[in-house]
Amino acid sequence: MKPFSEKTITSLLRWYHEQPELERKECHEIQRQRINVMMNDARKSGSKPVADGGIYYRAFLDGIASRNRLQDNRRLRSDDDLEAVTNIRIIVEKGKLKLKPSPKLDRLHGDLGPVVQRMRNDGLSWSKVSDYLAKNHKFKCGRAYLQKVFVDQ
């Protein structure tokens, strides 16, 4: 891995700070891959792998630089990079989207959550729970929505 100047490090960290969480995770994935390659190379050569903080930091900066290069409009090296750039740009745009608040979901997680959990613990089906909420709490939602909200928690 090449060393970075202080100016480059500052700009890379600033870029990293502005990215959504999915993009940051991709940077850490590249960091993990670079560290694994370095450790495996050290083992193959018979030397003891050195795992100090400097190596992790350089791998982290290299991961950021790699992701930054893919997002920039610089010249791409291969068709595989073009596909990666497209996927990255989609991830970044999805991360910028602001999700609308869901009153139904807020109410389910709020005052109706314990009711649903208790009914499910008593052995009632999702359909019965949905019917009960519609009848007694004036809360209409489908069986599939209830199941998605409470099973995916």
| Chain segment 83-133, per-residue pLDDT in tens | 777 777 787 777 666 667 788 888 888 889 899 999 999 999 999 999 999
Distance between CA atoms of residues 52 and 104, nearest Å: 49
Does one domain contain both 75 and 133?
Answer: no
Residues 89, 109 within the same domain: no
Task: Give the domain extent around 110.
Answer: 103-151
What is d(CA 100, CA 94) in angstroms, rounded to the nearest whole number? 13
Contact 23, 84 (CB under 8 A): no
Number of domains into which the chain is organized: 2
Q: H helices within the chain, ranges in order?
A: 6-18, 21-45, 53-71, 79-96, 103-109, 113-121, 126-136, 143-151
Are residues 68 and 122 both part of a single domain?
Answer: no
The position carrying tokens 């613990």 is 121
Kindly state whether residues 69 and 120 are assigned to the same domain.
Answer: no
Phi-psi region of 46 (alpha: psi -120 to 50; beta: other; left: phi over 0): left
Residue 97: how many other CB atoms lie within 10 Å: 8
Residue 1 lies in a domain: no
Q: Are residues 76 and 115 in the same domain?
A: no
39 or 18, greater pLDDT: 18
| Predicted local distance difference test score (pLDDT) of residue 56 | 84
86 is a domain residue:
yes
Same domain for 36 and 84: yes
Q: Could you tell me if 63 and 107 lie in one domain?
A: no
Mean pLDDT of all residues belonging to the chain: 82
Q: Would you say how long the chain is, in residues?
A: 153
pLDDT at position 79: 57
